[in-house]
Structure formats: structure tokens, C-alpha cells
Chains A and B, each alone.
Chain A
């Protein structure tokens, strides 16, 4: 009796949380396929009476949406590649090489997080101008790297520390070079860590708003976040239907990425069970 009651209560609780999280997403999807006149009807319709893809079509054909989308893809992919490559080698160095100040260096890297990003934006902007990079996607790649790298480094460092040193020693004894051992033995072991780091970095860059707002203001290199805001939200009017359609399309790449890599992630977590 009691356990059943508890179970029901627990389920109720869990589902109410799921609902609270899922409802806005559901509403976003529904709004994006409602025709304009149905949008503000009272009482609101839960499911649209007439379905339409006109907002999507309008976004794709009449606006800069596709340019922003392409920019975001380039930006996030480039940032992810740079961050993962640098963080992997950096973590390897921090864990396996012996040199003075190794630990302090690792902590120093975290210092970046002590400064609010607002403080860093203006200096970064001036730097970019100085380098002649202002208003380019590349300037955003650099900016995102500055805040994604420290976390990525620490994440990979703990993954790296979990790889037994003997594995590398064994590869060296078996005739591999240092680089060969890294490629043959360390990298495959690190794969789950690399994938979760990549996932983290990609999501971070995809969703970033503040830096993009300040560092870039030409339509040619704006990413989705600032581009969509700029295009659809003005002081007088918010294009709700278009905004929701844009939001749906912005979420799709993340959902795809997650769907693919999530299986890698869980596989990675289960794979650590070998002695040595």
C-alpha cells in the first residue's frame, strides 16, 4: 500500500518536472506552425487548428537565416576543433610530463573564470581591432576559445589522469615512439573524454550571445544567436512566429549532435572497467 503510494507520488513529481521543462519547447514548436492569426487568439489553442510551414519558408527564403546558420556551424565547429586539439595536448602535458610549475599552471588556467566575462569583452574587442580581426568569424573563434579552453583542459586532464601510466610505458617498451604511444594507446582511451569535451564546447559556442553581440556586427559574420535577435526583435515588434521557427531550427543541430554522441558518451563511461 505504502510503497505504491510513494511510487505514485514520486512519478507525479518526476513528470511534473518533465512537463515544466518540456512545455516551453512544445509551445515553441506549436507556435512555429500556427498561422499568424491564430497566434493571439483567446483562449489559446493547444494544438493549431491549421498547420502551416509558411514561417519556416519565409525564414529560409526571405531572410539572412541561412547565412547566420552557416556562420554558427563554421564558428562552433572551428572552436570545437581548436579547443579539443589544444586541450588534448595540453592535458597530456599537464598529466604526463614533469616540469616545474606544472600544477600552478593548471590552476592559473582556471583564473580566467574568476573574471566576469563582461570585464574581458572590451579588452578583447580592442585586441581584435588591433589585430585587424574585428567583425570576423575568426575573432569569435578566438574569443570562445579563451573561455572554453580552460574548462576543456580540466575536463580532459581528469580523463587523462584516469588512464594508467603503465599503458603508455608498455607501448614505449613495445617499441612505440612517444607520439606513437599517444596515438595508439592514449587517444583511443581518451575518446569518451574527447567526445564529451567536444560536445560541451560545441554547445557553448552554439549558444553564446554576449561576445557575439559585442565583437561582431556585420550580417556577413553574425552567428544565429545575435543574428536572429537582431532580425526579429526590434523595439516595436517581436516576430513571434518567425522567432519560434528560428528557435526550432537552431535546436535541431544540437539535438542531432547529442543523439549521435550520447551513445558514445555512455559507452565511454562503461568502458573504464579493465584492470590496468
Chain B
């Protein structure tokens, strides 16, 4: 009943288009992240959903209502701001009671609801303080509390964790996922942090330059990036992308770059011989033996694994990832091969479409999300 639908929504500021024809279908109860680099239109999209900004064209629907002309207060949403936006002159308790007060909830009920939410977020001892007497993490919880105190159809969160230190952020991620599972409400979460998006979301909407690039579950965004932008944006360390040429002989495609020639799997019909891009994730580079040779340039030790950067003969650089005990010394010459099942071919250009016809096989042990996998969704 409270799904959220964007139909061909566009937002212009003067002559500048911040959001281009956005189509997005968010299911009821889903946790969706809007992920993208700074300035890509995430906040603008969220503010349009909140009613703080009006679309230049297109429709936004929450549940069965088209909300284009509704004021924020009439949309049954709650929003958490990146800056928290706590009312400085009100106590924590009054801050949390404010949305209830504005909706005409009686004082006794208000107090009960605030007490309950404060309990949930461990804010009870802080209720009579002013926001400026709180730490950043506490302010963040109050901002969350002000949203949770009601039971809105949709929660909107704009980078709520970005002002917290790394440890607290990790903790709050788990808390938020837990909260989402308990409440079962639709949540739209804006972030530029892929780790947050990957760990928390049911689906991720990757945006760039005001355009939706891909809308899919985290594993799919990782394993089958829709285009070169998504491929390069998702994953740390990033996917190695090499420019080269596609040639076709007897119906079989070959990708070649200086010092490199690789057969590639079946491609979509739109694939054309000519410039293209080859992409492979670090975990799908096999170092040790194979047809390609290169020199180890950098080894980064993270503890449980080593990131190896290898320079190929053609001058390209390639990132590989191996479990910790294996290591190489800088300057060592190595041979390597690629797990071609997991390699990608993209059309030319920064947003070149992924051309692979078959979906990459998705088996858990190959899908190396290591850092991002563990504390995922319910």
C-alpha cells in the first residue's frame, strides 16, 4: 500500500537539469538506497519525494496517492536530514514530540510515544537536554527518533551517518537494518558510501549526473553492472578497466589491447567491432600462471588479503586481490590469467553499456564482497 513510484520525474533549477526523467518503482517495505557521487541529484530526488522541492515534470506516487501537489506534512513521510536539523531551542524531548504535536496528538499520548522511542534509541537520559549539549552520535539518534516517533508510510534518510566516525557508522548501519526489519516500512536512504548501500539495501539505485544508471539488488549491481560507470563506481578496490578493441571472427569475439588478446563470451546483438572496454574485478585475476605477463608494481597489505597492482606490457595497470599468505615482491615479473566467466565487456565511452549476453554466474564464493557482505540484510 505504500510503495513509492517515480514516473518520468524531471527537476530543473533554471536551465540546469538536476534530475533527468527518473523512473523508479520502490516496493512497499523495501529498503532502497540512492547511491552516487556528490552532486548526482540524490538529495534533490529525496527532497522531491518529501515535498520540499517540486518536480518540473513527471509524477510521484506514494501508495495510491499522487503526491505532486501535497505539502510535506500531508505526505505521511518522515525525513532525517544530513545536518540532523534538530530545533536548537527545544529540548530533545520537545524535538521528538514536535511531529506529534503538529498532528494534533494529545499531550499524554505524545509523552508516551516519545518515552517509547527514547527507550528504543537509548535517549531516555538525554530527554531534557538541548541539542547543543549532545555529541554528534547522540544528535543523530535524536534526529532518527524524531522520525521514528510517528509511524509514517515512508522514511526518508539523507546521508544520516555521514557525520559519524567510522566505528559508530558501522554500528548504526546494523541498528538501522534491524530497525527496518522491525518496522517493515519503506525506507529511502541516500548515501554516497557504497559500503552503506551494499550492506543495508534490498535494492540500490545508482545515480550519476542526474540519471538513474542501474536499479537492482546489491549483488546484481556488483556482479552485473549495467554500464561502465556502475562498474567503476562499485567495489573497493575498483574493477580494472582496460580500453581496447573488439574483433569478431567466425561469430567469436576477441578483445585485444596492447600485449593482450582474450577471447570473450557471447555478446549482445548491439555489440559492434571496434573500441570497447574490458573489465575484471580484482578477485577474478589469477596471479601465478597464464598467458598474460606483467610486473608487480605495488602490494597493499590489508591484513586478511593483499591487493596487488600489476603493470602489463601494454602499459595498462591491473588490480588483483589474493588471500594474505600469498604475496609478491615489487618488481617481480608474474604471469596471470582472468576468470573470463566473470569478466565484462563494455561499449566505448564512460557510460558504455555492458555487452555480455550471459549473466555472470553468481556463486557465493566467487562473489567476493568480503568487507561488505557479513552484516547484510535480514
Q: Does A185 contact B (CB under 8 A)?
A: yes
Measured CA separation A169–B73 after assembly (Å): 10
Near B by CB (< 8 A), chain A positions 237-276 give 271, 273-276
Measured CA separation A275–B130 after assembly (Å): 12
**Chain A residue nearest to B163 in the complex (CB):** A275
The answer on a CB contact under 8 Å between B71 and A177 is yes
Measured CA separation A172–B71 after assembly (Å): 8
The answer on a CB contact under 8 Å between A175 and B52 is no
The answer on a CB contact under 8 Å between A180 and B131 is no
Q: Number of B residues contacting the other chain (C-beta, 8 Å)?
A: 31
Contact of A166 among B72, B81, B98, B130 (CB under 8 A): B81
Distance between A272 CB and nearest chain B CB, rounded to angstroms = 8
Q: Which residues of A contact B81 (CB under 8 A)?
A: 166, 169-170, 276
The answer on a CB contact under 8 Å between A271 and B85 is no
Q: Evaluate whether A173 and B84 lie within 8 angstroms (CB atoms) in the complex, with A189-B89, A273-B132, A275-B139 already known.
A: no
The answer on a CB contact under 8 Å between A172 and B72 is yes
The answer on a CB contact under 8 Å between A169 and B85 is yes
Which range holds the interface residue count of chain A? 20 to 34
The answer on a CB contact under 8 Å between B72 and A276 is no
Measured CA separation A175–B101 after assembly (Å): 9
Q: Evaluate whether A164 and B72 lie within 8 angstroms (CB atoms) in the complex, with A175-B99, A189-B89, A275-B136 already known.
A: no
Q: Which residues of B contact A175 (CB under 8 A)?
A: 72-73, 99, 102-103
Measured CA separation A169–B81 after assembly (Å): 9
Q: Which residues of B contact A275 (CB under 8 A)?
A: 83-84, 136, 139, 163
Measured CA separation A275–B131 after assembly (Å): 9
Measured CA separation A167–B143 after assembly (Å): 11
Q: Does A124 contact B (CB under 8 A)?
A: no
Q: Does A199 contact B (CB under 8 A)?
A: no
The answer on a CB contact under 8 Å between B84 and A174 is no
Q: Does B87 contact A (CB under 8 A)?
A: yes
Distance between A108 CB and nearest chain B CB, rounded to angstroms = 22
Near A by CB (< 8 A), chain B positions 77-117 give 77-79, 81-89, 98-99, 102-103
Q: Which residues of A contact B47 (CB under 8 A)?
A: 169
Q: Does B51 contact A (CB under 8 A)?
A: yes
The answer on a CB contact under 8 Å between B87 and A180 is no
**Chain B residue nearest to A272 in the complex (CB):** B88
The answer on a CB contact under 8 Å between B87 and A167 is yes
Near A by CB (< 8 A), chain B positions 119-157 give 130-132, 136, 139, 146, 156
Measured CA separation A164–B71 after assembly (Å): 20
Contact of B102 among A164, A167, A174 (CB under 8 A): A174
Q: Does A59 contact B (CB under 8 A)?
A: no
- Give the interface SS of chain A, mostly helix, strand, loop or mixed: helix
Q: Does A38 contact B (CB under 8 A)?
A: no
The answer on a CB contact under 8 Å between A174 and B86 is no
Distance between B138 CB and nearest chain A CB, rounded to angstroms = 11
Q: Which residues of A contact B99 (CB under 8 A)?
A: 173-175
**Chain A residue nearest to B158 in the complex (CB):** A166
Near B by CB (< 8 A), chain A positions 169-209 give 169-177, 180, 184-185, 188-189
The answer on a CB contact under 8 Å between B77 and A166 is no
Q: Evaluate whether A174 and B139 lie within 8 angstroms (CB atoms) in the complex, with A169-B85, A275-B84 already known.
A: no
Distance between A90 CB and nearest chain B CB, rounded to angstroms = 23
The answer on a CB contact under 8 Å between B102 and A188 is no
The answer on a CB contact under 8 Å between A274 and B131 is yes
Measured CA separation A82–B130 after assembly (Å): 33
Contact of A167 among B71, B79, B85 (CB under 8 A): B85
The answer on a CB contact under 8 Å between B52 and A274 is no
Q: Evaluate whether A185 and B87 lie within 8 angstroms (CB atoms) in the complex, with A172-B72, A173-B72 already known.
A: yes
Distance between B76 CB and nearest chain A CB, rounded to angstroms = 10
Measured CA separation A273–B132 after assembly (Å): 7
Q: Does B285 contact A (CB under 8 A)?
A: no
The answer on a CB contact under 8 Å between B73 and A274 is no
Q: Which residues of B contact A166 (CB under 8 A)?
A: 81-83, 85
Q: Evaluate whether A276 and B77 lie within 8 angstroms (CB atoms) in the complex, with A174-B98, A177-B71, A184-B98 already known.
A: no
Measured CA separation A171–B130 after assembly (Å): 17
The answer on a CB contact under 8 Å between A172 and B52 is yes
Distance between B71 CB and nearest chain A CB, rounded to angstroms = 7
Near A by CB (< 8 A), chain B positions 37-92 give 47, 50-52, 71-73, 77-79, 81-89
Distance between A25 CB and nearest chain B CB, rounded to angstroms = 37
Near A by CB (< 8 A), chain B positions 294-353 give none
Measured CA separation A275–B86 after assembly (Å): 8
The answer on a CB contact under 8 Å between A170 and B102 is no
Distance between A124 CB and nearest chain B CB, rounded to angstroms = 40
Measured CA separation A166–B89 after assembly (Å): 15
**Chain A residue nearest to B79 in the complex (CB):** A173
Contact of B86 among A176, A188, A271, A274 (CB under 8 A): A274
Q: Which residues of A contact B156 (CB under 8 A)?
A: 173
Q: Which residues of A contact B84 (CB under 8 A)?
A: 275-276
Q: Which residues of A contact B82 (CB under 8 A)?
A: 166
* B interface residue numbers (CB < 8 A to A): 47, 50-52, 71-73, 77-79, 81-89, 98-99, 102-103, 130-132, 136, 139, 146, 156, 163
* A interface residue numbers (CB < 8 A to B): 164, 166-167, 169-177, 180, 184-185, 188-189, 271, 273-276
Q: A173-B79, A177-B73, A184-B87 are in contact. List 20 more A-B contacts (CB 8 A).
A: A167-B87, A169-B47, A169-B81, A169-B85, A170-B87, A173-B50, A173-B51, A173-B73, A174-B102, A174-B146, A175-B102, A180-B102, A184-B98, A189-B88, A274-B86, A274-B88, A275-B83, A276-B85, A276-B86, A276-B139
Q: List 11 A-B contacts (CB under 8 A).
A: A169-B72, A171-B98, A173-B156, A174-B73, A174-B146, A175-B102, A177-B73, A188-B89, A273-B132, A274-B131, A276-B84
